[in-house]
Structure 1
Amino acid sequence: MTSQPQPTNAPPADFGRRVHGTIMGGALGDTLGYLVEFDSLADIQAKYGAAGLVDLSQETPPLHFSDDTQMTLYTLDGLLEVLEWANDGVGADINACQWLAYLRWLKTQGIQATGPAPEPQPRWIDTQSVLHHRRHPGNACITGLSGGEMGTVHRPVNPDSKGCGTVMRSAPYGLIPNIPAETVYKISSEAASLTHGHPSARQSSGAFSWLIHMLAVAGLGLREAAASAGVRAHAEPGADPELLSRLDAALALSAPEVLAAHDGVPLSGAQLTDALGLGWVAEEALAVALYAVLATAPGAVSPPEHFLAAVRLAVNHDGDSDSTGSIAGNVLGAFYGEEALPLAWLKLCEDPQLIQHLAGQLVKLTVGA
């Protein structure tokens, strides 16, 4: 990568709405996908009908978000602590703050880190009882934190793990304005190393946060931002070939001319996962979600209709439905802002006030609004 100074991206006028849209959109997509995370497509259709799971109203409340949203909120809180220190004129180690935030999340799961791990100082988020539930956290996230060693790029924990637990929590890194996109990529990929050591886990996380930044801060269009994330992935020294293959396939298969050749009908179900993977690992989760967003864009009449179409496509398959749904929701919220969020779903979401409060704190600390 070039060592030349990189341009910074100032936030757009509707930045606050994009921040709220990103975090809440991810929570809504996660909530839908969590209903069927461990179900096969055949089981989903047997329960909900041939169209699969298409609406939160198909289940009886209360509905829950998964560990994906829990960890996203703790990512956000780690960044809030860094910003609080910065606004007081004190520099803070970003990755150390993120590690401490994830250690606090680990305690909400009833697990205490061993070894040399410090005891994090509690923060407001830790008092929120809704977060103190086990929602099927990923094994690598648990083991990467509970051992007590702070994972880094050069001293990785879980060196062979590339589970999607890095990508699904990393949208907040893309929401920091007035810094170079390269810094966003670096922060996100280094934070992935706290739990996952495989290059694809780090690079997928960095590419995803880059994508969110291009949408929510730089203001690019969906396909333009996706292409930019693909270019950045290819530019990484030692780029993981599986990540590049999945991203390239998601972009190619969602191209307008390819969709037009199939009467505008996107790949779905087994066709989708056969082409891009089941989403249990980082590069597959990112590719499935990205395809779902891009392939449903041509027929979208309104932002909420696009959101519904994309998230439905992203969760109805045999794979990791909550993570692919969450990532798709993050992307659409970053692009459209809060306008993408279906009002009926907001009424069914678990503790939206918590999500809105933390998103609002990020807006306040970055742009003062």
Structure 2
Amino acid sequence: MSNDPGAVPSPESRIHGCLLGGALGDSLGYAVEFDKIDEIRRRFGAAGLRDFSMLDGGTHFSDDTQMTLYTVDGIVEALEWANSGVGADANACVWLAYLRWLDTQGVPVPESAPRPQPRWIDGQEVLRHRRAPGNACLSGLATGEMGTVFRQVNPDSKGCGTVMRSAPFGLVPHIPADAVYKLSADAASLTHGHPSARQSAGVFSLLIHSLVQGGSLAEAAQAALDRVLADDEAAPELRDRLEAAVRLAGEAGAASVLSPEELVRELGEGWVAEEALAVGLYAVLATAPQADGGAADPVDHFREAIAVAINHSGDSDSTGSIAGNILGAYYGTACLPTDWLEALEAPEVIRGMAGQLVAVTSG
């Protein structure tokens, strides 16, 4: 994998970058997830938390990274079957992966639920820690029923637990955008029934897909927004938040990125799906190098975007994870700060899952 900032990232670099980048944003954000902005400033100064070195005891990644890696595992299993010439229901594979994740959280399922065979990921002890998992993710899976858009579980829930785990669908090459959206939205329906939860996940995966196909950040954001605007059934709140994120980022300059208070007022705290997507996307776009300012260092962009994504009163690990996924998919591993990677919990597990996805999607 090339770390040359000027090189076009390889598919392998984008996959590793997306998963590691998401874990970095998740990990830094997890340290302040439940803190109000005043408390973040009290702990870390006026600029907030900006580096792993500011955390005396280090940090961990959260359920966001855990579930993202289990999403990868479900996709990998489906592709392993496909590569062997056997058709498999991709969403069923993802559901079985999530049931195995649920077991790592110590939550039982009814006897009627399937008992999936263990896989490599299940033996990774770091993934068995309980890191503030979302209630809807737990309760939706604990029913033992495979939720669909027609047989809904948690029909009123639109928590961000769908978005934060959905980047991997956009990393699978050689499938059309509509299929990416459907795979992601269907997987969201396994735990959340609200339209915005499903659609936000689908749109996020589309955005990642656009970047992997070589689109710019602005092009990918516009494609995601166009998909929502063209959908007569799109949740109004998703349309409003995405439009606001793109518009406000377009207004941002070097000194005019929204303050944490303005960010929350305009886009929300990120606890629900459309808000988390909007905040993560805004953080990436608003800190992107300006067209007339020349190319910025991808590492600097990553640091600045994550700082915007996590320093607010809200769901900082999910918004940080989303921003990290986006930038890793765009730049590949070239944007990941070396010192941050050295501080990251269990990077070998994340790289292991990234390597499995590379193996089944290459060749």
Fold match by TM threshold 0.5: yes
Deviation (angstroms), 1:62? 4.3
Structure 2 distance, partners of 1:134, 1:203, is: 27
Amino acid corresponding to residue 309 of structure 2 in structure 1 = A
State how far apart, in whole Å, the 1-side matches of 2:72 and 2:266 are.
Answer: 32
Give 1:198's match in structure 2, choosing from 177, 194, 200.
194
Report the counterpart of residue 5 of structure 2 in structure 1: none
2:136/2:192 contact within 8 Å kept: yes
Distance (Å, rounded) in 1 between the aligned partners of 2:317 and 2:31: 8
Residue 221 (structure 1) aligned with residue 216 (structure 2): yes
What is the CA distance between 1:250 and its match in structure 2? 0.4
What is aligned with 2:309? 314
AA paired with 1:71? M
After TM superposition, give the deviation of residue 236 of structure 1 in Å.
2.6
Maintained 8 Å contact 2:211/2:220: yes
The alignment yields a C-alpha RMSD, in angstroms, of 1.2
State how far apart, in whole Å, the 1-side matches of 2:232 and 2:117 are: 37
Structure 2 residue 138 is the aligned partner of structure 1 residue 145: no
Counterpart-to-counterpart distance in 2, 1:295 and 1:249: 12
Give identity over the alignment, percent: 62
Q: What corresponds to 2:105 in structure 1?
A: 109
Q: Is the 8 A contact 2:169 2:180 kept in 1?
A: yes
Q: Secondary structure, in 3 states, of the residue corresponding to 1:347?
A: helix
The unaligned stretches of length 5 or more in structure 1 are: 1-11
- Correspondence for 2:337: 342
Q: Equivalents in 1 of 2:310, 2:9: separation in Å?
A: 32
Match in the other structure for 1:29: 25
- Inter-CA distance 234–281: structure 2 relative to 1 (3 Å threshold): same
Match of 2:298 among 297, 303, 311: 303
1:238-257 alignment, distance < 5 Å: 238-255=233-250
Q: Distance in 1 between matches of 2:114 and 2:231?
A: 33
Shift of 1:229: 0.5
Equivalent-residue separation in structure 1 for 2:125 and 2:58 (angstroms): 15
**Counterparts of 2:120 and 2:288 in 1: how far apart (Å)?**
38
Structure 2 counterpart of 1:121, from 105, 117, 120: 117
Contact persistence 1:307–1:332 (CA under 8 A): yes
Counterparts of 2:185 and 2:133 in 1: how far apart (Å)? 20
Residue 290 of structure 1 pairs with residue 281 of structure 2: yes
Once the two structures are TM-superposed, the CA of residue 115 in structure 1 deviates from its matched residue by 5.1
TM-score by length of 2: 0.95
Deviates more, 1:297-306 or 1:219-228: 297-306
Instruction: Tell me if structure 1 keeps the 8 A contact 2:167–2:208.
Output: yes
Deviations along 1:194-216, one digit per CA (max 9) or x if unpaired, are 00000000000000000000001
After superposition, what is the alpha-carbon deviation per residue over 1:119-173, rounded to whole angstroms, capped at 9, x for unaligned? Answer: 1111110010000110000000000000111100001100000000000000000
Q: 1:240 is matched by which residue type in structure 2?
A: A
Structure 1 runs of 4+ aligned residues shifted over 3 Å read none
User: 1:6 — aligned with what?
Assistant: none
Matched, 1:131 2:124: no
Letter in 2 for 1:40: K
- Deviation of the 1:239 alpha carbon: 0.7
1:280 maps onto 2:271 in alignment = yes
1:270 maps to 2:261 = yes
- State yes or no: 1:259 paired with 2:252: yes
Offset, 1:234:
2.0
How many Å apart are 1:25 and its aligned residue? 0.2
Give the match for residue 41 of structure 2.
45
* 1:87-120 deviation line (CA, Å, top 9, x unaligned): 1100100111111000000000011212521111
Cα contact 2:188–2:197 (8 A) shared by 1: yes
**How far does residue 301 in structure 1 lie from its aligned partner after superposition?**
2.2
Aligned residues: 352
TM superposition shift of 1:264: 3.9
Normalised by the size of structure 1, how large is the TM-score?
A: 0.94
Name which of structure 1's ranges 239-248 and 293-302 shifts more when overlaid on structure 2.
293-302
Show CA shifts across 1:278-310 (max 9, x none).
000000000000000000003672000000000
CA distance in 2, matches of 1:347, 1:264: 30
Q: 2:283 touches 2:308 (CA, 8 Å); kept in 1?
A: yes
* Residue pair 1:115, 1:149 contacting (<8 A) in 2 also: no
Query: 2:30, 2:59 within 8 Å by CA — same for their partners in 1?
Result: no
Alpha-carbon distance in 1 for matches of 2:346, 2:76? 20
Greater displacement, 355-364 / 232-241: 232-241
Task: Tell me the SS of whatever aligns to 2:343.
Answer: coil
* CA distance in 2 between partners of 1:166 and 1:268 (Å): 27
What amino acid is the match of 1:197? G
Contact residue 61 and residue 348 of structure 1 kept, 8 A? no
Cα distance in structure 1, aligned partners of 2:252 and 2:347:
36
Displacement of 1:61: 4.2
Residue pair 2:37, 2:313 contacting (<8 A) in 1 also: yes
User: For the Cα contact (< 8 Å) 2:9–2:332, is it kept in 1?
Assistant: no
What is the alpha-carbon distance in structure 1 between the residues aligned to residue 81 and residue 24 of structure 2?
A: 31
1:328 aligns with 2:327: no
